[in-house]
Amino acid sequence: GDSVTQMEGPVTLSEEAFLTINCTYTATGYPSLFWYVQYPGEGLQLLLKATKADDKGSNKGFEATYRKETTSFHLEKGSVQVSDSAVYFCALTPGSGGSNYKLTFGKGTLLTVNP
């Protein structure tokens, strides 16, 4: 079945540091890929997405590129802020079409940014 593996945390950085959170996936066909963010005490929010190979999703300074050759979708940000402290989830939906849009999540990576 489909699966998502992301780097285990926690990740602790200083403000303005460079962030990378690795994510790799296993899926048949051509899945769509997502990053979600969960701030403390809240539900998950869609951060960015990419629906086909070589697409780059971006939002709020975060970027991720859909790499089919390496089955990866790593999340990056050039300069993190304290307000980026949250749990980040990589996820995919099958690309087989139809009405199957079930999301499969990675286990999440806790990011803490210190001032």
111 binds other proteins (CB under 8 A): no
**Which one of residues 51, 59, 72, 85 is an interface residue with other proteins (CB under 8 A)?**
51
DSSP 8-state secondary structure symbol assigned to residue 115: -
How close are the terminal C-alpha atoms of the chain, in Å? 41
30 binds other proteins (CB under 8 A): no
State the number of binding residues for other proteins (CB under 8 A): 21
Where do we find the tokens 């701030």? Answer: 39
29 binds other proteins (CB under 8 A): no
Q: How far is the CB of 103 from other proteins (least distance, A)?
A: 6
Rounded distance between C-alpha atoms, residue 103 and residue 83, angstroms: 26
106 binds other proteins (CB under 8 A): yes
Return the amino acid letter for 91. A
Nearest to 86 by CA among 26, 44, 32: 44
Kindly list the residues in this chain that would bind other proteins in the complex (CB under 8 A).
Answer: 32, 34, 36, 42-46, 49, 51, 89, 93, 99-103, 105-108
